Amino acid sequence: MGSLIDATFVGAEGKPRRIEGPAVELLSLSGEVSLEENGVEPAGVSGVVGDPTGAIWAGRFVRGLNPVCITIEAVLEELLAAPEEDWRRPF
């Protein structure tokens, strides 16, 4: 998927943590973009990274503090809510 120069995220303890590179490898990403009633577009991305020593770290990335090393490949997909009656229908 790609790599970061450094990674900064908030983990389970709720405090920002910086993982220094170079080449912090992205292992997985998950996130969301949503529209709120006031027009603000909140976005958030969580992920798992591997540091140069091979240690694995996870958390919610802090906006603006995760510079891309060379490239990152990511897919954005629109999810539409289905009517509630569709939730109960068998596959």
Q: Give the pLDDT of the chain (91 residues) as one tens digit per residue.
A: 799 999 999 988 889 999 999 889 999 999 877 766 665 556 789 999 999 999 999 999 998 999 999 888 888 887 777 676 666 666 6
CA separation for the pair 20, 6 (Å, rounded): 5
Helix (H) or strand (E) holding 60: strand 56-61
* Whether the model pTM is above 0.85: no
* Neighbour order of strands in the sheet with 56-61: 16-19, 7-10, 56-61, 43-50, 24-33, 2-4, 68-72
